[in-house]
Amino acid sequence: MAFSTNGSEESELYHAQIHLYKHVYNFVSSMALKSAMELGIADAIHNHGKPMTLSELASSLKLHPSKVNILYRFLRLLTHNGFFTKTTVKSNEEEETAYGLTPSSKLLISGKSTCLSTLIEGALHASSIDMWKSSKKWFNEDKEQTLFECATGENYWDFLNKDSESGTLSLFQDAMAADSRMFKLALHENKNVFEGLESLVDVAGGTGAVTKLIHEAFPQIKCTVFDQPQVVGNLTGNENLNFVSGDMFKSIPPADAVLLKWVLHDWNDELSLKILKNSKEAISHKGKDGKVIIIDISIDETSDDRRLTELQLEYDLVMLTMFLGKERTKQEWEKLIYDAGFSSYKITPISGFKSLVEVYP
Ligand code: SAH
Ligand code: HMK
């Protein structure tokens, strides 16, 4: 009886349909956000100093008149999604709508330490998106490789490091640095984690964005940023901040503390264990007083905030498809930490969706 279902079955069907369509078209909201970033809408409003009308925005962005209505349509979705506010202003006796910034679109203002534009550009870069066309092939192939390798024949790190793709490597490093600068607030809320340290090595620390924050807050700590030669080879520091190149799978320079931010999620358990064991070796001269500080996601499937868990699980698939890495639950962190020979740990949630894990020998 296809057309005579009762009310609740109908509403269940409608909800199911909306739910499915919503997930099918999620990518449109991602891409509209990327367009807003590329157009520089947030910068225009920020530089204007107050909300802007559609025509003010269009002329500030130097859009062709035929694109003004297109801009309106993008703004309508982005406003609905919480990226812009809408207020009414009077111009020449006529009421007009003006668009303002929200806390989320303020993260698109360039030049600010909280700017996340390069993260949007990197995460939605063709190199991260195009591989999904091969996901069916990936499932059907009897080969241990990432989705990225299945689609391109190349390991993602090799792709980043290739000379001709150096634009993507610097985009990747800029995106990591942008994320790392967001750590400033969490650092000030967790000063005790770093107090008393004489030296710290930021392993796979990229271009050193986190270390620079730590160095600012604790200038007496001798900080080392350790990463691959193609990342840190040409960087120079100062007396208490130096760059060392090497391979964390071989050995890690000694320090009172090892920092691993957004590193272990790039690797499977076997390789993560190797990194943790090398970290343990690097702090061994301090005996029980050394520590490893991990900053990564700790998946919380019981959180009341469904969006937070969704983001963590999405990151897990990003790590799986690009690196055969993973985001870990508290239980998985515990197992990895004890398997590496450490005796205790403490997890503190920071900056929204990540956690800080202090690990002791
Ligand atoms: N910790 C930084 C960067 C994380 S991205 C941050 O949070 O901003 C992962 C980093 O791992 C990259 O900078 C990459 O160059 C580095 N990396 C990958 N393989 C490595 C290896 N074998 N030894 C040292 N660093 C490595
Ligand atoms: C996937 O790779 C990583 C990210 C995301 C990602 C790896 C990490 C942490 C975050 O950010 O989606 O350890 C970027 C991504 C940035 C990028 C990118 C991919 O710049 C170019 O490609």
pLDDT in tens, 64-117: 999 999 999 999 999 999 999 999 998 778 899 999 999 999 999 999 999 999
- List residues with catalytic annotation: 265
The DSSP string of 295-357 is EE-EE-TT-S-HHHHHHHHHHHHHHHHHHS---EEHHHHHHHHHHTT--EEEEEEETTTEEEE
pLDDT in tens, 197-211: 999 999 999 999 999
Q: How far is the CA of 123 from the centre of ligand 2 (A)?
A: 5
The domains located in the chain, with CATH, are 11-107 (1.10.10.10), 113-172 (no CATH), 182-360 (3.40.50.150)
**Per-residue pLDDT at 5 exceeds 60:** no
Q: How far is CA 316 from CA 21, 264, 312, in A?
A: 23, 12, 6
pLDDT in tens, 134-182: 999 999 999 999 999 999 999 999 999 886 667 898 999 999 999 888 8
The DSSP string of 61-107 is TT--GGGHHHHHHHHHHHHHTTSEEEEEEEETTEEEEEEEE-TTGGG
Choose which residue among 228, 231, 265, 267 to substitute to test ligand 1 binding: the one with the highest number of ligand atoms within 8 A of its C-beta.
228
Name the pairing type of β-strands 84-91 and 94-101: antiparallel
Residues sharing a CB contact under 8 Å with residue 99, sequence separation 6 or more, in sequence order: 41, 45, 51, 52, 53, 54, 57, 75, 79, 84, 85, 86
pTM check: above 0.85: yes
**Contact 176 CB / ligand 1 (< 6 Å):** yes
**Contact 260 CB / ligand 1 (< 6 Å):** no
- Ligand 1, atom 21: closest residue by C-alpha: 247
Q: Which of 65-74, 254-263, 309-318, 347-356 has the lowest mean pLDDT?
A: 347-356
**Contact 171 CB / ligand 2 (< 6 Å):** yes
**Contact 295 CB / ligand 1 (< 6 Å):** no
Structure confidence at residue 1 (pLDDT): 41
